[in-house]
Structure formats: structure tokens, C-alpha cells
């Protein structure tokens, strides 16, 4: 999913190979991650797809089943992965994920701590942001979940960038080996205030922390704890509204037949229109957009803070320089 050297990047030459992870796209709300294996088949409501037909085709290709049904094969990205991964816990979605990464100033080479791992949705994007030289250390107290996460990161090829640990961060804090080494910390815990003092120890001066909590009460309590060691404490909520686009043919109000109101527009679903027959006798429709009826409401509050900076001695300046 994430190139480890320039040769692996996406290109017009890149063909699907044995062992590749592909995202099988049926519809925007129906996708699946599949590992390509010569002898295997994929069976869905569109029929039976032979993996051997896929090998040698570029990513983004349309492939057909025995019943002439079709799907698209996409190269995996963290965004697609978020849509296909198996939900072991509630997961973070693109709006929160993107904002967290930007606000925590995560760039290539950063060392990031995360707890809990959950289903690994955020972890995948964190890995993309720290690649190629940084690392994400993620912890979950749930042994089985950590094992499943490791399997996932193996599958998505992120094992080199992500290490999963089993540890109760609220109870034990982060391991001492990270003290003063970490650029950013992300907490998604029921009682984040218990882990905040430890997170403060792990961070480099001026390092950034984010705590994700669904409830405002958790935010209140976290802010109380943050005040002692942290500054710039700010809480946000990010949501995404999506729009649907349709071609709408309107009856204009002209002459006698037109009243003072427009008749309700006749709608034609975009997906069903084929090239060529869009334009009908009545003339071309208008492209219109409106917010989708269904949207994700509240996900959680994102509380950010920055570790207060204590004045340094000269030798510390040197060590931070070389860090």
C-alpha cells in the first residue's frame, strides 16, 4: 500500500501481480480487499471472477466474471482500506484522520505513539504519513485485537512501519524506552486522562498530543489533566458532508401551460445514464448537486495540546539538534 522505495510507486507500467492486495470495487458503498493468488476465485453477486484473469492487468482495470458481471480492481490506499477493513471496534474516518495528521504535524521520519490500536484505521494513515523513515508504535490492551491488527498490517504491507504492542496504556503508561523520543501521541481511550501524564513524558519538548473522545465529559476531564504539562489546548469536531450529483430535466414555465411554479423536476439517476443517450429530445438536463440525505453525525471530539517547553541547557540543545 505504501511504497518503500521509488520502484514500488504507482505508475502506468505497474501491473497486478500474484500476491498483490487489490481493492475490488463493486460500487462506492461495496468494496472488498482481496489478495491475488493464481488459482483463486472471487465469488459475489456478479458471478465468479478468476484471479488469473486479473494478473498482468493494470490497477484500475475493469474485470469480468463468468456471467459478464464486472468489478474494478484498485490499488489499495489508506482511504480505501478504511472502507473495507473489518470493524473490530468503532473506527476513525477520513475527516478526523486527516485533521489529526495535519494538526499533530506528522511528517516523514516522525515517531508516533498510538493507543488503542482498535481496527487500525488511523494507524494505516499514520504509517503513510511517517513513511519511509519514521515509525508508528501502537498499543492495545486486547491481545486478540492486537494479533488481528498485526495480521492486517502484514496484509497491507505496513509491518515495516508499524509495531503493535499489547499493553494497558491507561494502567501502565507507555513503555519507558520512548521517554523523550516521540514527536506525537494519539489517544483513543475511554479514560484518556489516565494516560496523559505518561504521554507527556514520552513527547519531545513542543511535541503534540491528540485525544479522541466521543463524549464532552471525557474532554472536560482530559483538559483538566492536560493543563499541568501542556499548553495550546484546543478541542475540535470535524465532520464531512457529501453531495450527490444528478442530471435533472426541468420543464420550463412558458406560455399558457406554465404556471407561476416550476413543476417538480424529473430526475434521472446519474449512474444509469450511458454516454450518448444523455441528451434526449427535451434537450440536455441540468447538472445539480445536493447534500446526501444520510450523513455521519457525531464521531468524536478531537482535543489537541502541545507539551510546554522548558528552557534547555546547552548540551540539551545539542542533543535535540542531532535527534
Partner 1 sequence: MTTKDDSIGSSRVTWEGCSVLLDINDGERLVFARLSPNAQLKIGKKNCSLKPLIDCPFGSVFRVDNGKDGPYLSLVVHTEEVEEGGNSIQEKEDHVTTHESKDNRAIVDNNSAQNLTGEDIEEMRRQGATGDQIIEALIAHSATFEKKTSFSQEKYRLRKQKKYAPEVLVRRPFVRRILKSIKLDNLMSDNYMRCDSLSLLLSMANITAYSDVLVVDMVGGLITGAVAERLGGTGYVCNMHLGATPYPVDIVRIFNFSNDVCERIVHCALDDLCPGQNGSCEQVQKMVSDSTNELDHMEDVPAEENTTSADVPCTTASDHEVRKSIKAGGKASEELIKSWKESGFSSLIVAAPDMDVWSIMQKLHPLLSYSASFAIYHQYLQPLADCMHNLQIGKMAIGLQISEPWLQEYQYFSFLGVVDLNILLWLSFLISISSYDWYFRRTHLSMQMSAFGGYILSGTKISASESKVQ
Return the residues of window 173-232 that contact partner 1 according to CB under 8 A.
183, 204-206, 216-217, 219-220, 223-224, 227-229, 231
| Listed residue (95, 93, 74) closest to 27, CA to CA | 74
Residue 110 binds partner 1, judged by CB under 8 A:
yes
| Cell triple for 193 | 486522562
Strand partners, 137: 113, 163
Residues 14-43, interacting with partner 1 (CB under 8 A): 14, 25, 28
Residues 43-62, interacting with partner 1 (CB under 8 A): 56-62
Total residues in contact with partner 1, by rule CB under 8 A: 95
Determine if residue 119 is labeled as part of a ligand binding site.
yes
Alpha-carbon 19 to chain mean position: 23
Three-state secondary-structure class, residue 138: strand
Q: How far is the CB of 222 from partner 1 (least distance, A)?
A: 9
For helices 121-130 and 143-155, the axis angle rounded to 10 degrees is 50
Torsion of CA 21, 132, 123, 159, to 10 degrees: 60
Cβ nearer to partner 1, comparing 146 with 158 = 158
Stretch that binds partner 1, among 147-155, 170-178, 253-261, 272-280 (CB under 8 A): 272-280
Stretch that binds partner 1, among 34-42, 148-156, 257-265, 302-310 (CB under 8 A): 302-310
Q: How far is the CB of 292 from partner 1 (least distance, A)?
A: 9
264 secondary structure, DSSP code: P
d(CA 162, CA 128): 10
Determine if residue 5 is labeled as part of a ligand binding site.
no
Annotated binding site for S-adenosyl-L-methionine: 119-122, 140, 168, 188
Amino acid at each position: 500500500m505504501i511504497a518503500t522505495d521509488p520502484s514500488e510507486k504507482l505508475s502506468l507500467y505497474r501491473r497486478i501481480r500474484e500476491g498483490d492486495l487489490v481493492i475490488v470495487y463493486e460500487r462506492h458503498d461495496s468494496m472488498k480487499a482481496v489478495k491475488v493468488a493464481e488459482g483463486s476465485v472471487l465469488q459475489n453477486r456478479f458471478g465468479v471472477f478468476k484471479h488469473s484473469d486479473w494478473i498482468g492487468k493494470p490497477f484500475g482495470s475493469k474485470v469480468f466474471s463468468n456471467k459478464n458481471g464486472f468489478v474494478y480492481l484498485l490499488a489499495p490506499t489508506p482511504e480505501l482500506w478504511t472502507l473495507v477493513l473489518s470493524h473490530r471496534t468503532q473506527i476513525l474516518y477520513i475527516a478526523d484522520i486527516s485533521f489529526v495528521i495535519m494538526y499533530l504535524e506528522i511528517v516523514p521520519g516522525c515517531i508516533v505513539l498510538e493507543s488503542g490500536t482498535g481496527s487500525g484505521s488511523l494507524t494505516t494513515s499514520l504509517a503513510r504519513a511517517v513513511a519511509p523513515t519514521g515509525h508508528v508504535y501502537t498499543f492495545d490492551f486486547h491481545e486478540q485485537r492486537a494479533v488481528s491488527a498485526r495480521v492486517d498490517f502484514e496484509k497491507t504491507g505496513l509491518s515495516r512501519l508499524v509495531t503493535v504492542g499489547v499493553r494497558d496504556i491507561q494502567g501502565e503508561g507507555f513503555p519507558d524506552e520512548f521517554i523523550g523520543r516521540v514527536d506525537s501521541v494519539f489517544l483513543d481511550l475511554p479514560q484518556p486522562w489516565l494516560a496523559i501524564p505518561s504521554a507527556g513524558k514520552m513527547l519531545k519538548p513542543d511535541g503534540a498530543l491528540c485525544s479522541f473522545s466521543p463524549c464532552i465529559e471525557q474532554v472536560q476531564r482530559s483538559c483538566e489533566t492536560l493543563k499541568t504539562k501542556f499548553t495550546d489546548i484546543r478541542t475540535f469536531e470535524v465532520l464531512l458532508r457529501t453531495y450527490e450529483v444528478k442530471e435533472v430535466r426541468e420543464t420550463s414555465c412558458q406560455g399558457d401551460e406554465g404556471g407561476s411554479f416550476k413543476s417538480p423536476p424529473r430526475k434521472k439517476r446519474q449512474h444509469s445514464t450511458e454516454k450518448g443517450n444523455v441528451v434526449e429530445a427535451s434537450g440536455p438536463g441540468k447538472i445539480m448537486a445536493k447534500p446526501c440525505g444520510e450523513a455521519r453525525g457525531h464521531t468524536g471530539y478531537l482535543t489537541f495540546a502541545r507539551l510546554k517547553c522548558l528552557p534547555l541547557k546547552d548540551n540539551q540543545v545539542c542533543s535535540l539538534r542531532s535527534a
